Amino acid sequence: MAEPASRTDNRTRFEKDLSAPDPIPQEGIDAAVELMHDGRLFRYAEDRHGVPVTALLEEEFAAAIGRRYAVGVNSGGCALFLGLKSAGVMPGDKVLLNAFTLAPVPGAIAHAGAQAVLVDITDSYTIDIEDLDRKARESGARFLMLSYMRGHVPDMDAVMAVCRRHGLVVVEDCAHTMGAHWDGRLVGTFGDVACFSTQTFKHLNSGEGGLLATDDEDAAARAVLMSGSYMLYAQHRARPEMDVFERHRYTTPNFSMRMSGLVASILRPQLALLDERVARWREAHGRLVELLRGVEHISIPERSPKEGYVPSSLQFHLTGLDAQAIDTFLRASDEHGVHVKWFGREEPVGFTSRHDHWRYLEGPTDVPRADRVLQGLCDMRLPLWLDEEDCQCIAAVLREAMAEATSL
């Protein structure tokens, strides 16, 4: 790999590609190649010897994530859609959703024919408990889609107390929290259904892919049937007993959102590396946070000691800068090799869209704190391979970009 830093015009430049993921482990490549030689990439077979690889992944994933049942699907967005449907969301239902999230999340609610009711957030990017309580009461919604956007986990004791009070069914969007904990308990085990993504920039990388996990046998059977199991669901291993399927097999549509054997082959060896990856991300994130804490106009919220987070990205706030200074900071960082995303842009760019860009939303969108927080929110991807020298270099680029922005 290239040296992390070079200097031109007395400025530091980060020479590596921050968007470069880790390679797929050789074991995954070998398994995928073997499967391609065999040709049976479809997750089911009418006449098969041995256990299909997608069923093995689901079994291992359920064990790793602490749920009884798991279903592999073709994207995180589809896991969310099936999560909502299997949890009982019907067209026209209201679904509470914290306002700091990404476009596929309100998209999944729209896909289910439901209506998102936005809930405000705190200065530390998590759902605002009081607003959740108020919106649940005022809207009469029966469902909460809890999105742990960018891996930020709220006070789950408080969130779940509100959910119990209002009888909310909870679908957890764990696209950014695979392997994360709250007070020692795995995120993804608090709600009724949990949904994960294995898109390239997530904790496991299969390009596209998703997984749904639950302890509820009816939700699990419906999710399997809806994912497109035809009548081959007996081949699943992390599934409920066969008689549970009898309750649903004639009344559950097939949405054909299966996970292929190729994707599962690539994912299995990565799942075994999850704990090691979590430790690497935490180390890099911790280093960068330390280095950036002293930079003027950059503020990073403290996190609760109960939060066992998995930081595959870093968020910070720009404070006390006008639009021109923010623009200069972003441009100068970018020109020196560190691409920082900004949620305050008028127009959605890349992965930074926010609720006023989702103009199909029909429910209430009064989330004043989210509007203010997102206006100053910056976001950076943290690849797994970042070492100490990389972090030093990135921090230097950001420090110098801030000096340029504030010297105007």
Q: Which is nearer to ligand PLP, 24 or 149 (CB)?
A: 149
* 337 near ligand PLP, judged by CB under 6 A: no
* 102 near ligand PLP, judged by CB under 6 A: yes
* 292 near ligand PLP, judged by CB under 6 A: no
The three-point CA angle 401-404-387 to 5° equals 20
- Pick from 58, 128, 131, 173 the residue near ligand PLP by CB under 6 A: 173
CB of 298 to ligand PLP, least distance (A): 23
Q: Where are the alpha helices (DSSP H) in 115-238?
A: 129-139, 156-166, 217-228
Site for ligand PLP (CB under 6 A): how many residues? 15
Q: Contact region for ligand PLP (CB under 6 A) — 48-56, 98-106, 260-268, 374-382?
A: 98-106
CA dist 115 → 22, 362, 364 (Å): 38, 7, 10
CB of 75 to ligand PLP, least distance (A): 4
Q: Where are the alpha helices (DSSP H) in 235-303?
A: 242-246, 261-271, 274-293
* 147 near ligand PLP, judged by CB under 6 A: yes
Residue 258 DSSP class: B
* 260 near ligand PLP, judged by CB under 6 A: no
CB of 22 to ligand PLP, least distance (A): 17
- Pick from 54, 177, 197, 260 the residue near ligand PLP by CB under 6 A: 197
Computed from CA positions of residues 168, 258, 181, 62, in that sequence, does the dihedral angle turn out positive or negative? Answer: positive
CB of 101 to ligand PLP, least distance (A): 5
Which pairs count as long-range contacts for 162-166, CB under 8 Å and 24+ apart, including other chains?
162/129, 162/132, 162/133, 162/136, 163/191, 165/133, 165/136, 166/133, 166/136, 166/137
Which residue is it, tokens 């280093």?
Answer: 287
* 313 near ligand PLP, judged by CB under 6 A: no
Contact 209, 197 (CB under 8 A): yes
* 146 near ligand PLP, judged by CB under 6 A: no
CB of 103 to ligand PLP, least distance (A): 8
Q: How far, in Å, CA of 280 to CA of 207, rounded?
A: 21
- Pick from 53, 105, 284, 393 the residue near ligand PLP by CB under 6 A: 105
Site for ligand PLP in 60-89 (CB under 6 A): 75-77
CB of 210 to ligand PLP, least distance (A): 5
* 194 near ligand PLP, judged by CB under 6 A: no
* 210 near ligand PLP, judged by CB under 6 A: yes
Q: How far, in Å, CA of 329 to CA of 321, rounded?
A: 10
Q: Which is nearer to ligand PLP, 104 or 154 (CB)?
A: 104
* 206 near ligand PLP, judged by CB under 6 A: no
CB atoms within 10 A of CB 116: 27
Question: What beta strand segments (E) does 137-245 contain?
Answer: 143-147, 169-173, 181-182, 185-186, 193-197, 210-214
Report CA 237 to chain centroid distance, whole Å.
25
Nearest residue to ligand PLP by CB is 76
Footprint on this chain of ligand PLP (rule: CB under 6 A): 75-77, 101-102, 104-105, 147, 149, 173, 175-176, 197, 199, 210
